[in-house]
Each structure stands twice: as structure tokens, then as C-alpha cells.
Amino acid sequence: MAFGDPRRYKMTKAKHWTRRDSGEGRLMEPVPYTGPSELFDIKLEDGDLEKMKDGQGEIRFHLLLPKFGEGLDEEEGFYEFIAARMRNYMTEIIRKCAYRPEHFDPFDGKFITANHVARFFGCQLARAAKGLPSVQQCWSTRESLEAIGTVKESMPRGAFSDMQRCMHFADDWDENDGEVWDDKFSDKKVDSPIDIAHHRRKFGIVEDAFNAMEGGSYLRAAADNG
């Protein structure tokens, strides 16, 4: 069907189906790729690839994530940046919404850290690979076929639920009670630029940081090098 063609195709009603009792059904050929090239255009200069490797010569995912901060000594890694936003938002919803965390407790020194965030994203990837089962299914003690062992071993279910509730990429709530930010929150306030589109306020900072990484060339290089 050509682009812009007004025709729409619907599923045939069951009464018009034809039963096939022999063979393996109708063969569906794969749709061929018709793009300009199957290769990525890696924009790396001499020495850039070596800078991505750790002491063992391996390229790890956390080295390919954006940094936040103006100076080299002030740069903050992606996981720590997200952990700080989660810590601030958890404090806010505990104070304002009477939220009761299941695992963490910022008022008792039990904070979300960068290591927790790395494990949280790992759990999300494992869930996606398994077809996104519910949180209850992932940590199930009864349905062994639904539970995901690597997820259960990575963190308690309560910790995952707390972090999922606090996914907030900008400290964009208003301060109307006259209190100083540092008196209420353990981390600095980071808000989206004032001229950013309204629908991007909560995640625009992170999205722009990824876009600024030379069009994602670091990620492409990692993929190309296994």
C-alpha cells in the first residue's frame, strides 16, 4: 500500500477463515531491508576508541553514558545524576504526598545510590527481554516460570518499586513554602531550562545529554566492537 493510500485493511471475520489441516501453513517471507547501508557511520578520531576502554581493555556501558557538569572535576556520571534526582523526588513525595517507601528511607540514612540505579536499569532490561512481566511476577516465589532469577538476585522488590515510583529526571516542582532548598533536600536542585517545551520538562535534560554525544557515535562504536 502506497504512502497516503486511504485504504485500510481489517482482520477477516472468523466465519470466513479456511482451516488448514496439513502442511505448516502459509510461508511468510521476511521483509527485505532497503535502507542506504547496513553499516554505521562511526565518527571517531584517532585514539577515541582506546579512551573508552577500562584497565582490562573492555568497553563497558557506563563509560558510554553522558556526563553532567561544567568542569572536569565537577562532572557527574549518568547513574549518579539519576540517583540524585530520585533522592530529591522521594523526599518531596514523602513530605507532600505521605508516600511510604518500601525499602529506602532518606530520613534514616538509607539513600538511593548510583549502584542502585545501575541495577535498576539492568532489571528493566531483563524484564524487557522476558516480555515485560509485572513486578509481582518478576519476584514471584510461587510461579518459578514467571520469576526472573537475575532480577531477584539484583535487588529486593521493594527497592525496585521505590525507584520506579521516583523516576524523575528534573527537580521541577515549585517551592512555595519559603524554605531554602538545601534545608530540605540532600542534593542540589537541577531543573530544565526555562525555555524548554512543557512536555519535555521531566526528561529533556537527559535526552539532550545523549543527543550531545556526537550523535551517539560512542554507542555505535561500542556496538561495532562487541
Give me the pLDDT at residue 111, please: 95
pLDDT tens track for 49-80: 787 787 888 877 776 788 887 554 567 889 99
Give me the pLDDT at residue 223, please: 43
> What predicted TM-score, i.e. pTM, was given to this entire model?
0.67
Contact between 85 and 190 (Cβ < 8 Å): yes
Give me the pLDDT at residue 221, please: 43
Give me the pLDDT at residue 40, please: 59
Question: Rounded to whole angstroms, how far apart are CA atoms 126 and 71?
Answer: 35
Mapped onto helix, strand or coil, the DSSP state of residue 76 is strand
> Number of helices (H) and strands (E), helices first, in the chain?
9, 2
Low-confidence spans in the chain with pLDDT less than 50? 1-3, 72, 216-226
For residue 95, give every residue at least 6 positions away whose Cβ sits within 8 Å of its Cβ, in sequence order, or none.
Answer: 184
Q: CB neighbours (10 Å) of residue 111?
A: 17
Give me the pLDDT at residue 224, please: 44
Cross-strand pairs, 105:
110
pLDDT tens track for 154-173: 999 999 999 999 998 889 88
* Residue ranges covered by each domain of the chain: 75-172+179-191
